[in-house]
Structure 1
């Protein structure tokens, strides 16, 4: 067999998966075959490695993190463990049924009004495309949030003043108006005035849909809520680094919390809880029953800070935190200083300064019901810190889940017993009380919906 025929036979056998009689092949052909197989194998490994690397890079660096948990996902793990699990299974009960029962039986305490006055997040900007309308239920109200083709956001009361159809369900954006699907009445987003009734020669001047003051800042759509119907007395500002694209959006977390809205921002005034609830390593997870396991004690978080109302703006407060993530309680691995700006009752800006650079986290709290809050954090950073920002967001998510485990089960104490070191809690409550007014809804007048 000449060399050319041997090569042809070899290629044919390799492609067809045939078995070769190696004794018939010359040593040079065998050597060639071995090299060919080796090259192909290493080429395949390289391709696999590059593919896996690209996928991991896309997932962990390029793709924003989306960490979303429902109410039953956090703080209720004990309901389906051990004997409780066996009993629940015998009765055919699901975890959400047990959570619903716990919400019903919990002593809520003497609560402040359930909906404070201020700016509240209804949607993220990315959730509302041009020409789209969405229905949002929050603050005891139903909103029709729509964006014109030009990108301008308007918020109307969802229910048409004609016959009560929900204009956000099946409604259509027409220019700067929202068209009701029931009878095609159109309402201007700017002032709510009815601009068209297709089967009527004249549109009465008094026909209007209720409008809600709104703004879109730092990729968040806000609505102004005030129990007395007053116009906004202060405003939310855009963050320049986010607005000009210098900082990129790198992900978010979202939680549903079973608590009064004030419990969440009050954490800022409760400095003592930091080194109680958040000292254990983030690697230990969020279940407070297990965070002090011996295996994770090699790493600890150490916190110090202060909280005070802003001297410049009555509706703002500031918190300064110093954080160290230490190994063996001696070696600081991550050190950061956090400047926190509480702006109104439900919006917080956190500026994290680290040795690698600055990261920004935006927090919003939206009351879905009197005792059901939607809590979100969004993280922004320079492109070079994308992977680090996701690490920060994951750690922050674990720490928030520890808080949620407390919030989901606590009772509100209106006259707490405080020691001298707890005075910032008292000052925070006094500061936060400015967001309630005479007609602010109270829990006693609300029918809580447990069909979450």
Structure 2
């Protein structure tokens, strides 16, 4: 084995067996559990058929462009079959092992793929949805309870697309503070930079005066129409006790699950009713449009009648 990760189609082109169920890696090949055909990961060529002396030249499985970076295996998908147009950057602190893995959260979200990254440009929701302190929980019926009304998260945010050659990237800069009975406690301030790379990957790097520095990697993977698989992985300074990044990840999870309660019960509006203070949302939509092409699957719904 060469130690590199390769991605091929899940189903054997011979008789359709699922290579992920009972298949195994043999050298640099994946072996089908049904008849033992072996396909090379690098180019998909069939190298072995146990019951024949000659492997046909056309015996091949589809391979997908992929890379292994920041502890993740990422696959490039383009609906028109286009080759990768940009690379996923390494987080230097992860590569050097200065920051170490400290856990993950996983969610399935019933939403249009655009809804999740669009949060970065929706500044108004930060104060309204994420203003109530995290101790008030995730159920939006109770987050504004009088018990926790004296403690508030305060947010200041900016969003900008990046220029060439990184037009596929954008950045949201967030300054967070906490108030108790209206009084600002500066030792709870922290700074977050959320860098979106392509349509489905975000680097949330953050730093705090005494809690240190780290990153949460957010990946959004479409599973089926209007269903997204979202994973958050946290890497943190090795010298910091593991309890600190686990606490940060838990707080982030609570805030994210507030969004999920909205996403899972809303509808996607291609032409929303916006006011001038929402202008960043329109800018974000224009930026995100680069990830669609002529043959991209379109979201459609029945406009007339009740056939939905």
**Shorter-chain TM-score range:** over 0.9
The reply to whether residue 387 of structure 1 matches residue 243 of structure 2 is yes
SS at match of 2:114: helix
Q: Distance in 2 between matches of 1:222 and 1:234?
A: 12
Q: Distance in 2 between matches of 1:262 and 1:280?
A: 25
The reply to whether residue 374 of structure 1 matches residue 235 of structure 2 is no
Alignment of 1:415-434 (within 5 A): 415-434=271-290
User: Counterpart in 2 of 1:354?
Assistant: 208
Question: TM-score by structure 1 length?
Answer: 0.64
Q: Distance in 2 between matches of 1:347 and 1:410?
A: 23
SS at match of 1:384: coil
Deviations 1:325-382 (A, max 9, x none): 2222213241011111000000000111211221211100111111111111111111
For structure 1, list consecutive stretches of 5 or more residues without a partner in the other structure.
1-148, 446-452
> Which of residues 69, 82, 98 in structure 2 aligns to 1:230?
82
User: Counterpart in 2 of 1:315?
Assistant: 168
> Which of residues 39, 43, 46 in structure 2 aligns to 1:187?
39
Q: Distance in 2 between matches of 1:442 and 1:162?
A: 32
SS at match of 1:181: coil
User: Counterpart in 2 of 1:259?
Assistant: 111
User: Counterpart in 2 of 1:442?
Assistant: 298
Q: Distance in 2 between matches of 1:439 and 1:417?
A: 27
Deviations 1:86-112 (A, max 9, x none): xxxxxxxxxxxxxxxxxxxxxxxxxxx
User: Counterpart in 1 of 2:305?
Assistant: none
Native 8 Å contact 2:177 2:184 kept in 1:
no
User: How far off is 1:443 after superposition?
Assistant: 4.3
Question: TM-score by structure 2 length?
Answer: 0.93
The reply to whether residue 240 of structure 1 matches residue 95 of structure 2 is no
Alignment of 1:23-42 (within 5 A): none
Q: Distance in 1 between matches of 2:148 and 2:239?
A: 30
User: How far off is 1:246 after superposition?
Assistant: 0.6
SS at match of 2:284: helix
User: How far off is 1:398 after superposition?
Assistant: 0.7
Q: Matched residue pairs, number?
A: 297
Deviations 1:234-266 (A, max 9, x none): 011211111111111111111111111110000
Alignment of 1:80-159 (within 5 A): 149-159=1-11
User: How far off is 1:206 after superposition?
Assistant: 1.6
Q: Distance in 1 between matches of 2:205 and 2:251?
A: 16
Q: Distance in 2 between matches of 1:237 and 1:331?
A: 36
User: How far off is 1:289 after superposition?
Assistant: 0.6
User: How far off is 1:388 after superposition?
Assistant: 2.1
For structure 2, list consecutive stretches of 5 or more residues without a partner in the other structure.
302-308
Q: Distance in 1 between matches of 2:106 and 2:32?
A: 31
User: How far off is 1:297 after superposition?
Assistant: 1.6
Native 8 Å contact 2:154 2:179 kept in 1:
yes
Moved over 6 A (4+): none
User: Counterpart in 1 of 2:180?
Assistant: 327
Higher RCO, Cα 8 Å, sep 6+: 1
Q: Distance in 1 between matches of 2:170 and 2:264?
A: 25
> Which of residues 340, 345, 357 in structure 1 aligns to 2:194?
340
Deviations 1:391-440 (A, max 9, x none): 21111111001000000000111111111111110011111111011111
> Which of residues 62, 65, 69 in structure 2 aligns to 1:217?
69
Structure showing greater radius of gyration is: 1
